[in-house]
Amino acid sequence: MAYEPLGPYVLGSGKKAGQAVELIIFHDYPWLKSLYNKQKRKKVPEERKNRLHLHLDWLMNKADKAKPLMLCPHCGQKKIELISALGSDKYGFSMGTKFSCCLEAQCKQNLLSWAGGGASLIIPAKIFSVSHFKKRADQKKFIKILRHLYGLEGKLSKEAAFAFFKNI
């Protein structure tokens, strides 16, 4: 039987004790991904996984399926799938919701032309894409954009974050 959580998972110990993993995914994805990878490396059979392991499996699966609600600024017909980040790891990246598009070839071409020949990173509008950025400031900018695209602006409670993932 598939794991279906009834509510957010709050960590009971460690560096992030008292925090819900549904919020941590938006505040410190690299840390949560590291915790998830540690759990995966244990190679525990499904029936022997603890609640944290099951919950992280569920959350990461849901996060991978999350899709933006906003329409492509180029065609206005399909949902945004890609985000452009112009810059470098050394100096940081410039990005925003305006610099995004759907998967249509013409929309991607328009997005690339806005970069003006600069080194532009075109990445999926997914939570895991935050790993493309080394600087914490760039990671925060990217997550803020994603939250806007997902309709999760403003102060986010653990219950609202859980409901977002549950409804995917």
Q: Tens digit of pLDDT for each residue in 28-47?
A: 999 999 999 999 898 888 88
In contact, 100 and 74? CB cutoff 8 Å: no
- Predicted TM-score of the model (pTM): 0.89
Half-sphere exposure of residue 19: CA atoms within 13 angstroms, side-chain side: 15
96/48 same-domain check: no
Tell whether 105 is covered by a domain.
Answer: yes
59/16 same-domain check: yes
91/124 same-domain check: yes
Tell whether 71 is covered by a domain.
Answer: no
59/86 same-domain check: no
Tell whether 72 is covered by a domain.
Answer: no
55/16 same-domain check: yes
Q: Which residues contact 31 (CB under 8 A, 6 or more apart)?
A: 15, 16, 24
The domain total for the chain is 2
Query: Residue 140, exposed/middle/buried by CB under 10 A (0-12, 13-18, 19+)?
Result: middle
145/160 same-domain check: no
Give the distance from CA 54 to its chain's centroid.
Answer: 19
The per-residue pLDDT of the chain, averaged, comes to 93
Q: Tens digit of pLDDT for each residue in 107-149?
A: 999 988 876 666 678 999 999 999 999 999 999 999 999 999 9
Tell whether 51 is covered by a domain.
Answer: yes
Dihedral angle sign, alpha carbons of residues 51, 57, 62, 63: positive
Share of the chain above pLDDT 70, in %: 96
Domain limits at 163?
A: 1-65+153-168
Residue 117: the pLDDT is: 62
103/59 same-domain check: no
Q: Tens digit of pLDDT for each residue in 18-29?
A: 999 999 999 999
Tell whether 40 is covered by a domain.
Answer: yes
99/54 same-domain check: no
Tell whether 76 is covered by a domain.
Answer: no
CA–CA separation, 83 vs 122, rounded Å? 6
Residue 45: the pLDDT is: 85
110/146 same-domain check: yes
